[in-house]
A and B are shown apart, each in its own frame.
Chain A
Amino acid sequence: MSNTKPIRIMLTGVGGQGTLTATTLLAKAVLAEGLPVTSGEIHGMAQRGGVVESTVLIGCKSPKIGLGEADVLLGFEPLETMRAMPYLRKDGLVLSSTEFLPPLSVAMGKQENVSIDQVKEVVAQCTGNSFYLPCQSLGLEAGAVQAGNLALLGALTATDAVPVSPQTLAETIKANLPAKIVDVNLKALELGVGALENT
């Protein structure tokens, strides 16, 4: 375990977005690469439209990421990306969706949401290493809005921040998702990889 350089990946999104599916797929892909992995998730009340935070850690024993510990932050929703920023270490990598799912207070017009520019500004204060993708749109382009999570994961595998290749992730998708949604997710993965390569 100690021979692997530790990499801590924090994932955050909104209940129902597929954040936990993405977490499990990423952890299985890391295992498929022959690396030691542990992953964590918090369930319960979050299922009712709340915030979902989960983790994938390579070369670590603990499943938890504390403040300032994450090497990578994957935000499936931009407001949640901003909320989770304190977990990122200085100069870590951020991959975030640009498309909002407004919380109830915002939807009801009681509170104003942050703008994508504000999110980018806060991210820029901590790191210059960030990429933004329209995940829901990429998911829809692939065939299902929920596949947007795979677009973001695909983009991650196209960086050199994690030792997981897009090919391994594709194999993991084939081995673990129900047959009828495999193609849509493979397409989303491809779109995510493409989106990153074009930035």
Chain B
Amino acid sequence: MAHPLLSPEGGATHLLLGNEAIVRGALEAGIQVVTCYPGTPSSEVPDTFYRISPDGKFKFEYSANEKVALEVGGGASMSGAMTLTTMKHVGVNVAADPLLTLAYTGTPGGLMLLSADDPGCHSSQNEQDNRYYGRLAGLPVFEPATAQEAKDMARDGLLLSKKHETPLLLRTTTRVNHLRGPVEFGPMPDPGKPEGFKRNPSKFVPIPAFARPMHERLLERIEALREEAENSPYNTIHGTGTIGIAASGISRAYLADAIMETGLADKFKIMELGFAHPLPRNMALDFMKSVDKVIVIEELEPILENDLRVLAQKNGLDLSIEGKDLLPPNGEFTVTMVANVLRAQVGEKTFACDSCIPAELPQRPPNLCAGCPHRATYFAARKVFGDDAVYSSDIGCYTLGLLPPLSMADFLVCMGSSISAGCGAAMANDKPVVAFIGDSTFFHSGLTGLASAVFNNHDVLLVILDNHTTAMTGHQPHPGVEMTILGENENRLDIAKACEGLGVTNIRKVNPLNQKKTRAALEELREMSGVRVLIAREPCPLHSRRVYKKVAPMVAYVADSCTGRAECLDTLACPAFYKEGDKAAINPILCNGCMLCLQVCKHIKSKKRGS
């Protein structure tokens, strides 16, 4: 049976994740090409497309990084294919180069870019507000607040994008991507074949002579899109009060609940913008003229607030516009937070929770899994280099090696930065520099940094942690994987050969679960200079279970001879270990059977699983 998301009929209502709703919306628009680089909170969009791809009528790919994903998407759309490209907010930084120029050339088949922003840094290194990219590139921006809107806006955004031949930004935030709500399906038409490329260099080749008129056309297009925003059903004004409230994105959901909670509906007139850029100026102006003041409710940057302020000033309106004076420019909002702003506006007492003081409790930070091969690599590196090295880290599961006792991350910038930032550290330090990068991240943006490191003859040891998958975001495939949930990877790239091709001469390959050989290789590489690479290859145990259907037959246990020094507990931090009295013990249910601990302490032995 085909997946319910592929049902051609409309009418049914399903409880969907925001990300699944986006998939359905794209299918209802007639999506033909989907490209992506996975990243939380965007990942379930491409992962869902991937799972249904054997039965779907669209073409799908996991691209090597976000820039590639958007360029592939741009080429497809310029050839008439309706296209969706997905990534998390920081991914748009990587893809910013093609994005700003695709806005010039236009995208005839339609091209929607999903940017999944992360206020509150639930799984990200920053809180950047990508609505700025919409302004910077000159794109229409849609901001859904519910699962139904995520579906409808994905569909309507793609259709609008095709109509105006412009890329469109679907800007979500974590709460929207990962909420679940009822979604009523519309019909899903057969997408047919893309129209194919129509040659027109003055439209598609932005040499300066062509780019100047392209910019003019982009500015004209923004005005046409402003007309669309004026008439969009996603932009509404409701309520009767004299105090105005303007809101966009998920803040509209918090506002709706806050109005219900406070019972102050008759005090406020509300302008909700779901199609927030370009600003529907006439609508906003009428709204501002009908109220005494305006409060802007938007998470992160004061973007709508400043838009309104400019509009008011230009039109000589003398009314106060507040937003970031009342609500923070960082983190997420809550219903109570918004409700308190409403209460304060009408002179009511604000709500404070007296039972809301968090207790001091043992923390439960995420940790490398039991049996994770990265722990073995880190353990060996700590034995060889100790505190006498600078450790350059990168983005992935292995960033969790930051925590003691492994303590294997001294600095981190972004995807692919471990090698290049490591090179910089090597220029400024006498200590050896050891950089760590995962296999997926290596293909994402490690290759270029490595080429540059070789060319500039930096003194750096790069350890490539190859666990055969993109583990952190949910086991997506990348160019180096052997197996995926859909079968074997027939076009596998070999990391060692890639390094060789980039000019690295000292390359060693080890299985990190073999501590002796791993340490020997690290010691050997430590004595050399220039760019050196150690490839530590062993699949992620979760991936192994899921894709190779493999579970290690043996588990470790602590023998009665244990002397209770508990060095294994103090240095390995394996989640399968615990302390029992003075001695260490191993939970056989959690043990993944990697047998690293047997190489750490002679009192740890192995036995058959279940025995």
Contacts and interface: CB of A to CB of B under 8 A. Distances in A.
A49 B84 CA distance: 33
A199 interface: no
A69 interface: yes
Nearest to A46: B366
B367 A104 contact: yes
B356 A61 contact: no
B257 interface: yes
Given A42-B178, A43-B40, A107-B578, A48 B355 contact: no
A67 B146 CA distance: 22
B547 interface: no
A122 B359 contact: yes
Contacts of B40: 43-44
A79 interface: yes
A111 interface: yes
Given A40-B180, A42-B122, A126-B355, A113 B250 contact: no
Interface stretch (B72-80, B213-221, B568-576): B568-576
Interface stretch (B186-194, B289-297, B332-340): B332-340
B397 interface: yes
Nearest to B180: A39
Contacts of B244: none
Contacts of A125: 355
Most buried by A among B334, B361, B400: B361
A38 interface: yes
Contact of B257 (A15, A43, A62, A85): A62
A61 B179 CA distance: 10
B368 interface: yes
Contacts of A51: 364
Nearest to B579: A109
A63 B353 contact: no
Given A43-B123, A107-B578, A64 B334 contact: yes
B167 interface: no
Interface stretch (A86-94, A152-160, A179-187): A86-94
A23 B334 CA distance: 20
Nearest to A118: B359
Contacts of B367: 48-50, 104
B146 A85 contact: no
Contact of A102 (B254, B354, B472, B578): B578
A41 B40 CA distance: 12
B147 interface: yes
A68 interface: yes
Given A43-B41, A67-B334, A69-B334, A50 B256 contact: no
Interface stretch (A24-32, A163-171, A190-198): A24-32
Contacts of B253: 38, 61-63
Interface in A93-136: 102-109, 111-114, 122, 125-126
B317 interface: no
A62 B355 contact: no
A31 B146 contact: no
Interface residues of A, number: 60
- Of the listed residues A36, A80, A83, the one surrounded by the most CB atoms of chain B closer than 10 A to its CB is A83
> Most chain-A CB neighbours within 10 Å: which of B41, B354, B356, B577?
B356
A63 B579 contact: no
A67 B336 contact: yes
B362 A61 contact: no
B359 A108 contact: no
A1 B153 CA distance: 21
A109 B504 CA distance: 44
Contacts of A113: 362
B363 interface: yes
Interface in B233-268: 250, 252-254, 256-257, 260-261
Contacts of A82: 359, 361
Interface in B335-349: 335-337
Residue with the highest number of chain B CB atoms closer than 10 Å, among A48, A85, A111, A114: A48
B249 to A, nearest CB: 12
Given A61-B257, A107-B579, A69 B357 contact: no
B369 A48 contact: yes
Contacts of B256: 61-62
B353 A68 contact: yes
Contacts of A48: 366-369, 397, 400
B160 to A, nearest CB: 24
Contact of B361 (A14, A40, A46, A79): A79
A27 B183 CA distance: 13
A6 interface: yes
B397 A86 contact: no
B181 interface: yes
B145 interface: yes
Nearest to B265: A2
Interface string B79-117: 000000000000000000000000000000000000000
B127 to A, nearest CB: 14
Nearest to B334: A66
Contacts of A41: 178, 180
B32 interface: no
Interface string B390-428: 000000010010000000000000000000000000000
Contacts of B175: 40, 62-64
Interface string B136-162: 000000000111000000000000000
A37 interface: yes
Contacts of A89: 353, 355
Nearest to A57: B257
A68 B336 contact: yes
A109 B566 contact: yes
Contacts of A162: none
B11 interface: no
Nearest to A38: B181
B180 A24 contact: yes
A62 B146 CA distance: 8
Contacts of A90: 353-355
A61 B363 CA distance: 31
A68 B339 CA distance: 13
B297 to A, nearest CB: 12
B501 interface: no
Interface in B496-550: none
A69 to B, nearest CB: 6
A67 B356 CA distance: 6
Interface string A50-85: 110000000011111111110000000001101101
10 contacts: A14-B364, A38-B147, A47-B366, A49-B364, A50-B366, A61-B145, A107-B575, A107-B578, A114-B361, A114-B362
Given A67-B356, A108-B573, 16 more contacts: A38-B180, A39-B181, A50-B364, A61-B253, A62-B257, A64-B332, A64-B334, A66-B335, A68-B336, A69-B336, A86-B353, A89-B353, A90-B355, A102-B362, A104-B364, A104-B573
Interface of B: 15, 40-41, 122-123, 145-147, 174-175, 178-182, 250, 252-254, 256-257, 260-261, 332, 334-337, 351, 353-359, 361-369, 397, 400, 472, 566, 569-570, 573, 575, 577-579
Q: Which 5 A-B pairs have the closest CB atoms?
A: A66-B334, A68-B353, A44-B123, A63-B179, A109-B579
